[in-house]
Amino acid sequence: MEELKDNSLHLTADKLAEELHNMDNFNRFYEDFQVLAASHDVSLYEFKNNLVQAVNKGNMETNLRNAIFHWLRNHENNQQSVIRDEITSRESLDYLKKAQITWEKRIQKSLESLCKEIGINSSCYRSRGDQEEMLQKWNELSTYNTSLERLRPVYAPKDFLEVLFSLHNPNYRMISDDMIWDFTYLPLKVKTLSELRYHYKDLATADLLLGLSTLTTGAGSSLSQGEQDRIIRGEEAHQDSPLCREFLKLGAPRSLRGRLWSQILGSNAKSSEYDYLELKQRVLHYDILIDKLITKDVQLTACNDDQYFVFEDVLYQIMLCFTRDTGVLSVFNSSTSRPILMWLISKPLKETTYPSNGIIPFHGFTMYAAPVCYLFNDPVPLYFTFRAFYQRYWFRLHKISSHPQGILGLCILFQRLLQRHETKIWSHFMSNNIHPIRVVFKWLIKGFSGFLLPEQLLNLWDMILAYDSLEVLPLLAVAILSFRKDNLLQVNTLPNIESLLVDLSSLNVLSLLQFTLKGPIKM
């Protein structure tokens, strides 16, 4: 038995060493290791022992632990031995595969039809004059002239919701047409409230949790001292990724949030200004239809929000760079979805991924990036943190899959929590033929961005990172409906329900979540 354990450890070490060579920060790590090996602290006669001691003394051990932490997260081997070959978690349900393929064809058809409507090519070279103008106005892209009057989004969240409603399990026989709107017949396993309480037990039991105070905490309150203590502890932990994640479970001080997020997501190792400038050059070189869609989306969403309009120029920069980033294509490695292929005008004419990152933005897509603007003054770490967050979480919210963190799984989780623990609201909706998902879908697909106050939203996203799960989104959606239950039971149409929920500015996210997790929801 001991021999098998030794072999397993040896194979695990070999696998990790091989994978570390492929990581973005390997060259920097290897250079630091060489410098350490050549230092006076390492003697030639006791080379191995001295080197191990030197690694343990400095930051090398922390850097190595961070690298392994990010590798494990990226490969999602929580329950699998790392010595096994990577098992790609592609879609196992055929009818969901077909639905995703059909949806992608529909998006491509909509994109091609949009090109014909407004009479432009999907891509073309920018003229020299256009390049110079864009470069000159790069920091003030809101002044860059582009015609957007006839432009419309390729699709909106409500279009995607109708696709989800049309999903049908071929192994399930519908009893009546009344069940078409229900997700119960889709055999996806989601957590129960008891399992969620166990998963978020630290959140449920925490007393000193930053963000639990009222929205108008006065100066000199106890939170001020608590936040100061958290800042001191955060300064000690912010270089260590696993510690950062644990630290974040009790909330993030505003001054440290950007560094904590970057460390947990691993974006601090990827924040290369050279890579960012290369993406910028690609934007300057090519003009694509997606640029106009992004510009239109920023204008329709962030620019019309009094919390985000000040970030208009930087949002143009990072979202345009995002469309050119081929590194984002990695999200397709573990998915049945495929990027769209289109013919690009070049010499020679060629068919290639469109856009370069493979992502067609929907109406409101910009709101994945807007809240991150509060964390950074520099667009480089801002961009890479947004990209890492998208690759880790947000890409699942506009794809059809059976993954428990996918939008379908989150919708089913919301539905089952509401049905089992808020039966009065559920029955009220049913009696008035109102689908509960229609009420909250816009919250779920955008991660509540644009609906909560920025500070409350960032507290919510802290919990996503700390617990590495999007399940907090449907949990919060149920908590909000429960909190507004008395008012909801007084109205019986979807527009009236939406009007009751249009203003969430008075809500304290962590208080609602903690209240829901501490005990049974009262009915």
Average pLDDT over residues 73-85: 45
The percent of residues in the chain predicted with pLDDT above 70, rounded, is: 80
- Using the predicted structure, report yes or no on whether residue 343 has a pLDDT greater than 80: no
- Using the predicted structure, report yes or no on whether residue 428 has a pLDDT greater than 60: yes
- List pLDDT tens digits, range 189-246: 999 999 999 999 999 888 778 887 644 444 445 446 667 777 877 777 667 788 889 9
CA 411 to chain centre: 16
In this structure, the strands spanning 340-344 and 286-288 are unpaired
Average per-residue pLDDT in the chain? 85
Average pLDDT over residues 99-128: 92
The token pair at 31 is 């250079």
Q: Tell me which residue of 74, 79, 60, 59 sits closest to 19, measured CA to CA.
A: 74
CB 449 within 8 A of CB 368: yes
CA 201 to chain centre: 23
pLDDT at site 453: 97
In this structure, the strands spanning 340-344 and 350-354 are antiparallel
CB 91 within 8 A of CB 401: yes
In this structure, the strands spanning 123-125 and 350-354 are unpaired
- Using the predicted structure, report yes or no on whether residue 324 has a pLDDT greater than 80: yes
CA distances for 328 relative to 197, 262, 264, 466, angstroms: 33, 17, 18, 23
> Virtual CA dihedral for 197, 520, 453, 319, nearest 10 degrees?
40
pLDDT at site 82: 35
Average pLDDT over residues 45-72: 69
pLDDT at site 86: 38
CB 443 within 8 A of CB 475: no
pLDDT at site 451: 97
Out of 158-172, 173-187, 279-293, 342-356, least confident range: 173-187
pLDDT at site 523: 43
Average pLDDT over residues 165-183: 70
CB 492 within 8 A of CB 432: yes
The percent of residues in the chain predicted with pLDDT above 90, rounded, is: 58
Cβ neighbours for 219, distance < 8 A, ≥ 6 positions apart = none
Q: Where are the alpha helices (DSSP H) in 77-123?
A: 94-118
Residue 338's CB is within 10 A of a number of other CB atoms, namely 12
Return the residue matching tokens 């005008």. 345
The token pair at 293 is 């869609």
With H, G, I as helix, E, B as strand and everything else as coil, classify residue 198.
Answer: helix
Q: pLDDT category, 320, cuts 50, 70, 90? A: very high
Sign of the Cα torsion 314, 316, 322, 324 reads negative
Cβ neighbours for 355, distance < 8 A, ≥ 6 positions apart = 288, 290, 323, 324
CB 513 within 8 A of CB 448: no
- Using the predicted structure, report yes or no on whether residue 486 has a pLDDT greater than 80: yes
Structural domains in the chain, sorted by start: 2-75 (no CATH), 98-156+270-392 (no CATH), 188-243+393-523 (1.10.472.80)
Return the residue matching tokens 């999907």. 122
Total residue count of the chain as it appears in this document: 523
Please indicate whether residue 149 or residue 310 has the higher confidence score (pLDDT).
310
Cβ neighbours for 162, distance < 8 A, ≥ 6 positions apart = none
Please indicate whether residue 157 or residue 226 has the higher confidence score (pLDDT).
157
In angstroms, rounded to a whole number, what is the distance separating the alpha carbons of residues 252 and 210? 7
pLDDT at site 75: 65
Q: pLDDT category, 37, cuts 50, 70, 90? A: confident
Q: pLDDT category, 468, cuts 50, 70, 90? A: very high
Orientation angle between helical segments 423-431 and 436-445, nearest 10 degrees: 110
Please indicate whether residue 471 or residue 92 has the higher confidence score (pLDDT).
471
Return the residue matching tokens 């989780």. 413
In angstroms, rounded to a whole number, what is the distance separating the alpha carbons of residues 425 and 292? 42
Q: pLDDT category, 263, cuts 50, 70, 90? A: very high
pLDDT at site 214: 44
pTM: 0.87
The token pair at 339 is 């990027």
